[in-house]
Amino acid sequence: MISYDTVKKLMFNFEPETAHSIAEYGLKILPHCRMINNYMVEKNFVNHDMLTQKLFNTTFHNPIGLGAGFDKNATMIKAMPAMGFGYTEIGTMTPKPQAGNAKPRLFRYPEEEAIQNAMGFNNHGAYEVIGNLKKVYPYTIPIGASIGKNKLTPENCALEDYETLVRGFKDIADYLVVNISSPNTPNLRDLQNEEFIKAMFTMAKSITNKPVLLKIAPDMENETAIELCKTAVQYGADGIVATNTTQDYSLLNNIQGIKDGKPFGGLSGAIMSDKSFDIFEAIAKELYGKTTLISVGGISDAKDAYRRIKAGASLVQILSGFIFKGPAMCKDINNELIELLKADGYENIKDAIGANYR
């Protein structure tokens, strides 16, 4: 088999969006190549008692999920076990299809293992994505669906977009995530306010018993994030996903994406690990034991995944790290997590989740 380093060298010759389309094509056809797919599942998918837990009325065989934004249209779900992921989050989808922001809008920083993106919820729209999901769901790994408003929907009609999406996806995903934290849809982050969150979760919980989570941005004071998350949980949110990409451009020296003299979009990858962890931990200190917590942002090795777990994360997600490390990443992290659990005397991941507070 060709090494991922070779694949990466080849792929990084292409513009990031072209490389993503090639990867999507490959991951769409992989499940049809049964022998190769089975070989890769065997090799990369860690299914171990110590990492297995029941959450959201389903079973997670390992805690490493693919973060939202890689599989926006639910076209690659079937390839995810071969990539080692224990679950996947598709989207973010909007009610109507939309093209996203003007290009170039995706930049990679191989040395820093970072990504800058200003995609802007480019997706084929709920109707098509629902069609794709219906062909797959339920699947051998849990599927989350990330939902967002259309760019052209005014702020005072945003709730209607989310209602349409909750209704559309509630029966064809294991959990839903309300995305009001992308920096790439104008004013979307303004919806991170108490009033909208109350209305959002009151609406969602009146429609479905499926778990509905809130995904938040890392670019606010810890106190503000804690208050918003507490409100979400008080009004029925089943969990918090922290965090989305950051607009802290001081984390990178040589920013490539600049418009009108200013950097744009959100940064992700190794450079945001501590930033994402700090806000996650602040939220977890308040909400661990009261709701389910998912940590995402800059994770690319087992040590980082484990510190999130001990700080209260039941699950973690990775997007940028997958681009730089490839399909062996999840396997390596999961196998090392088993060793870390054993070294601390734990029998199951559940014993380690939130261990810092016991």
Complex with ligand FMN: residue 117 or 334, whichever CB lies closer: 117
Q: Is 215 in the site for ligand FMN (CB under 6 A)?
A: yes
Least gap, CB of 229 to ligand FMN (angstroms): 16
Complex with ligand FMN: residue 119 or 176, whichever CB lies closer: 119
Which of 182, 268, 276, 314 is flagged as catalytic? 182
d(CA 297, CA 317): 8
Choose the binding region for ligand FMN from 63-71, 134-142, 302-310, 324-332 (rule: CB under 6 A). Answer: 63-71
Q: Is 182 in the site for ligand FMN (CB under 6 A)?
A: yes
Three-class secondary structure of residue 203 per DSSP: helix
How far, CA to CA in Å, does 108 sit from each of 15, 41, 131? 9, 28, 32
Q: Which residues pair with 64 in a beta bridge?
A: 316
Least gap, CB of 175 to ligand FMN (angstroms): 13
How far, CA to CA in Å, does 225 sit from each of 82, 165, 229, 230, 240? 35, 24, 6, 8, 11
Q: Is 321 in the site for ligand FMN (CB under 6 A)?
A: yes
d(CA 191, CA 352): 34
Spell out, one character per residue from 25 to 44, where the chain touches ligand FMN: x when CB under 6 A holds, - when not.
--------------------
Least gap, CB of 218 to ligand FMN (angstroms): 9
Q: How far is CA 157 from the centre of its chain?
A: 25
Q: Is 115 in the site for ligand FMN (CB under 6 A)?
A: yes
Three-class secondary structure of residue 289 per DSSP: coil
Choose the binding region for ligand FMN from 27-35, 117-125, 277-285, 331-339 (rule: CB under 6 A). Answer: 117-125
Q: 132, 150, 185, 244: which one contacts ligand FMN (CB under 6 A)?
A: 244
d(CA 344, CA 106): 40
Choose the binding region for ligand FMN from 44-52, 54-62, 265-273, 283-291 (rule: CB under 6 A). Answer: 265-273
| Count of residues touching ligand FMN (by CB under 6 A) | 27
d(CA 175, CA 63): 15
Give the 3-state DSSP-derived string for 211-257, with helices as H, strands as E and coil as C.
CEEEEECCCCCHHHHHHHHHHHHHCCCCEEEECCCECCHHHCCCCCC
DSSP annotation of 96: S
Is 182 a catalytic site residue? yes
How far, CA to CA in Å, does 60 sit from each of 69, 128, 252, 311? 20, 27, 35, 19
Q: Is 84 in the site for ligand FMN (CB under 6 A)?
A: no
Q: Is 86 in the site for ligand FMN (CB under 6 A)?
A: no
Q: Which of residues 281-320 bind ligand FMN (CB under 6 A)?
A: 296-299, 318-320
Residues that bind ligand FMN (CB under 6 A): 67-69, 91-92, 106, 115, 117, 119, 121, 146, 179, 182, 215, 244-245, 268-269, 272, 296-299, 318-321
Q: Residues with catalytic annotation?
A: 182
